[in-house]
Amino acid sequence: IVDVVDESYRDRTDPSRPLRVLSVACGPAWEVRDLFSKPEDTGRFHCTLLDQDEEALGEAEQAIRIVGARLGSPIHVKFLRDSVRTMLMSKDIAAQFGRHDFIYSMGLFDYLTAPVARSVLSRLYELLEPGGRMIIGNFHVENPTRLYMEYWMDWVLLYRHEDDFHALARDLPGATFTTFREETRSQMFLDVRKPRG
């Protein structure tokens, strides 16, 4: 995800301001540590981390504080303890969660049924600035470790195929989207782009 965020930073229309990034269901946000690898990165990205788990957000905050100390520069990160349920019910979602150039979620949609996933995706799209990009992860139906995960780890997920992801994104106004998979072929990603104008 760090490579894709970097790519979005280079592609932004206004090079004078930082890329505003939102991570949904962020957990401990391990990837943010890699995003801020050099002192100049602290001026390139402004992050918002959203999760309903207070402990996960606390762990993320502690780790990010350590990274900021190592870089000698404060990292601009906002922590939001909230749930997607609130997001679905919000009347003014942008006022509550802000607008962002890049939104991603890696471990949420595997637990959402298609109707809920479609609604959450639509609300996240509302938070995306014109010209913004959104990456949503989901385990693929062909995940080679699926049996192990379900029977040995009791980790049952909602697996999706590319067509399932396309169906979720089909009604996003003006959106262009595609899917790709990572090297192990276990995880699939929906890559959504909002038109600039």
Confidence (pLDDT) at 109: 95
Confidence (pLDDT) at 140: 77
- Closest Cα to residue 184, out of 133, 135, 153, 146? 146
Q: Is the pLDDT of residue 155 over 70?
A: no
Instruction: Give the pair of three-digit tokens for residue 8.
Output: 């979005």
Q: At what angle do helices 114-127 and 162-169 cross, to 10 degrees?
A: 50
Residue range 89-141, pLDDT digits in tens:
888 888 889 999 999 999 899 989 999 999 999 999 999 999 999 999 998 77
Q: What CA–CA distance (Å, rounded) separates 53 from 36?
A: 23
